[in-house]
Amino acid sequence: MKILVTGGAGYIGSHTVVSLLENGYEAVVADNLVNSSVKSIERVEKITGRKVKFYKADTLDREAMKHILDTENVDACIHFAGLKAVGESVQKPWEYYENNIQGTLILVDELRKHNVKNFIFSSSATVYGDPEFIPITEQCPKKACTNPYGWTKSMLEQILTDIQKADPEWNVILLRYFNPIGAHKSGLIGEDPNGIPNNLMPYITQVAVGKLKELGVFGNDYDTVDGTGVRDYIHVVDLADGHVKALDKIKEKCGLKIYNLGTGNGVSVLQLVKAFEGSTGQKVPYSIKPRRAGDIATCYASADLAEKELGWKAKYGIKEMCEDSWRWQSMNPNGYED
């Protein structure tokens, strides 16, 4: 099977391309490189010893999407392409709605015109807002999002659900990711954020490598084990493998399905810092800062449905996540830049 992977040069996309190739799929990547480097594709080829067909293309560019689908005989699409910076989305809502929603509408329209109706979408635990209950099952109601980025995910879930309902030939899987961290064991691909990282693990690794002075811990007065925020960190390679399992489900002509991809374990900010120090031997100085607007206390998944229906379960623990994040950061202090 040949899979179109939009956003395949990015963090989760590049790891997923590795998993696809290792599982006998062919991958065609379409990425406009707005938040990534083509070097990630070269590294994927080095890891796997396989070729990846790469198109520098924007999902907003209908002609480009049409050209790719005319040229490549793809069977399914895994759609990662999107903008994902929460803070930036508050400043630039129009750009986020256009890129993420319009980009997806054009892609889906060209896919259906080419009779490719198998689609896996990168959604997020952010659609649960401040969750009604913990651990979060797929039955947990969706809530108001706190930023335009989150709304694009929530709205696209609805749009894709309606499209599948109107045309049951579509098989659509919405994957709600929890917090991906870690990197491929080789240290050749990983997360390469632009500028100062917003997310916790890249901030920790950049402190450890000496690029940033100290970590600010956003609040220690939450109702959690040690007062700091609790999240469900998941190894990006496990997350990538979840997409391969989702493709198996698509082959069963599954219609619409929704799965959480998380580990089911909650880990606090300070627990993650301690685990990182313990598994890498690197010190991570930190100080307590005020809470970050829009943050919630606790967010972790029930991963039971994915295990039951996809036969997928996260294999890696926090130790490996820390070791692998650190290997990537220390081997590539400036990410994909020379």
Residue 233 makes contact with ligand NAD by CB under 6 A: no
Least Å distance between CB 261 and ligand NAD?
A: 9
One residue of 3, 5, 12, 258 binding ligand NAD per CB under 6 A? 12
Tell me if 18 contacts ligand UD1 by CB under 6 A: no
84 binds ligand NAD (CB under 6 A): yes
Q: Is residue 200 part of the contact set for ligand UD1 (CB under 6 A)? A: yes
Binding of ligand NAD at residue 177 (CB under 6 A)?
yes
- Whole-number Å distance between alpha carbons of 21 and 182: 20
Q: Which of 4, 7, 135, 202 binds ligand NAD (CB under 6 A)?
A: 7
The residue type of 142 is K
Q: Are strands 118-124 and 171-177 parallel, antiparallel or unpaired?
A: parallel
Answer yes or no whether residue 171 interacts with ligand NAD by CB under 6 A.
no
- Total number of residues shown for the chain: 338
260 binds, among ligand UD1, ligand NAD, none (CB under 5 to 8 A by kind): none
> Contact, 130 vs 296, CB < 8 A?
yes
| First and final C-alpha spacing in the chain | 35
Q: Least distance to ligand NAD from the beta carbon of 30, Å?
A: 6
Q: Is 203 an active-site residue?
A: no
Burial of 223 (0-12, 13-18, 19+ CB in 10 A): exposed
What CA–CA distance (Å, rounded) separates 319 from 325?
10
| Distance in angstroms (rounded) separating the CA atoms of residues 199 and 150 | 15
Supply the minimum distance, in Å, between the C-beta of residue 168 and ligand NAD. 25
Residue 59 engages ligand NAD in binding (rule: CB under 6 A): yes
Neighbours of 216 (CB within 10 A): 15
Is residue 220 a contact residue for ligand UD1 (CB under 6 A)? no
Transcribe 56-120 into DSSP letters.
E--TT-HHHHHHHHHHS--SEEEE--S---HHHHHH-HHHHIIIIIIHHHHHHHHHHHTT--EEE
Span interacting with ligand UD1, options 26-34, 104-112, 183-191, 213-221, rule CB under 6 A:
213-221
Number of residues that bind ligand NAD (CB under 6 A): 28
Binding residues among 118-177 for ligand UD1 as defined by CB under 6 A: 124, 126, 150
Q: Does residue 93 bind ligand UD1 (CB under 6 A)?
A: no
Number of H helices, E strands in the chain: 12, 14
- Residue 231 within binding range of ligand UD1, rule CB under 6 A: yes
State the Cα angle at 170 between 123 and 16, rounded to 5°: 45
Q: Which of 55, 149, 233, 316 is catalytic?
A: 149
Q: Choosing among ligand UD1, ligand NAD, none, which partner's interface includes residue 297 (Cβ < 5 to 8 Å by kind)?
A: none
Instruction: Give the C-alpha distances (Å, rounded to integers) separating 162 from 60, 91, 169, 170, 234.
Output: 21, 29, 13, 11, 29
**Binding flags for ligand UD1, 244-283, as an x/- string (CB under 6 A):** -------------------------x--------------
SS3 312: coil
9 binds, among ligand UD1, ligand NAD, none (CB under 5 to 8 A by kind): ligand NAD
What angle do the packed helices 200-208 and 318-331 form, to 10 degrees? 50
- State which of residues 65, 103, 164, 273 lies at the interface with ligand NAD (CB under 6 A): 103
43 binds ligand NAD (CB under 6 A): no
| Bridge partners, residue 234, by sequence | 180
Which residues form the interface with ligand NAD (CB under 6 A)?
6-7, 9-13, 31-36, 58-60, 80-84, 99, 103, 122, 124, 177, 179-180
Q: Enumerate the active-site residues.
A: 149
Report the interface residues with ligand UD1, using CB under 6 A: 86, 124, 126, 150, 179, 198-200, 203, 215-218, 229, 231, 269, 292, 294-295
